[in-house]
Amino acid sequence: MAYRSGTYIAFDGLGEVEPTKSDFKYYATIRAWTEHKDIDFKFVNSHEKTAAVRDTSLKATLQARIRERLANSKNVVVILSDQTRKSGSMLSYEIEQAVDKNDLPLICAYTGYSSILNPSDALLRMRWPLALEARIDNNTAKAIHIPFRKDPILDAISQFTVHTGALNIPLQFYNEATHRMWGLIS
């Protein structure tokens, strides 16, 4: 097996054909950070390491590509918005494969938040797809919960990987001092 170097970005496409109407816009934000010359944000994108697929591809084709990408990934960023569905999206399949088959650490990034200091909060929990909720509740997920912000995402991507073993609980989070250091809370 090849060295697992990529970061897989998972999000709910919300059944939309138009990317700006789905959580794809957050994935696009991460890609924009990597391409902007004045922003220091670099990572290996697992989506760019295999052939592209379209939303119109057969489900079996999509799932095969997801499995291939996850098998070569070191971690998974799971983007969670207030529109993330409980079930019925490929996001559930991605979470199942990431945790159950690849033992990947999850970086749960919540849109619309500047800090995450209590990841078991009911409002955050409402964003969890059932696949994530089950794996957090049964302690099989290794997850850190962060705001969807550049600094926490970049730090988590570099710190929490299959290679480091630095993440071993389902409800990890950065402390208040770290959020202050990033300028996310005052």
Mean pLDDT of the residues in the chain: 88
pLDDT value for 111:
98
Instruction: Convert 53-71 to b/e letters by CB count within 10 Å (16 or more is b).
Output: beeeeeeeebbebbeebbb
Percent of the chain residues past pLDDT 90, beyond the cut: 66
C-alpha 153/C-alpha 77 separation (Å) is 8
pLDDT per position as a tens digit, 104-137: 999 999 999 999 999 999 999 999 999 999 999 9
Looking at domain 6-181, which of 2.60.40.10, 3.40.50.11200, 3.40.50.2300, 3.30.70.270 is its CATH number? 3.40.50.11200
Domain boundaries defined on the chain:
6-181
Q: How many CA atoms lie within 13 A of 96 on its CB side?
A: 11
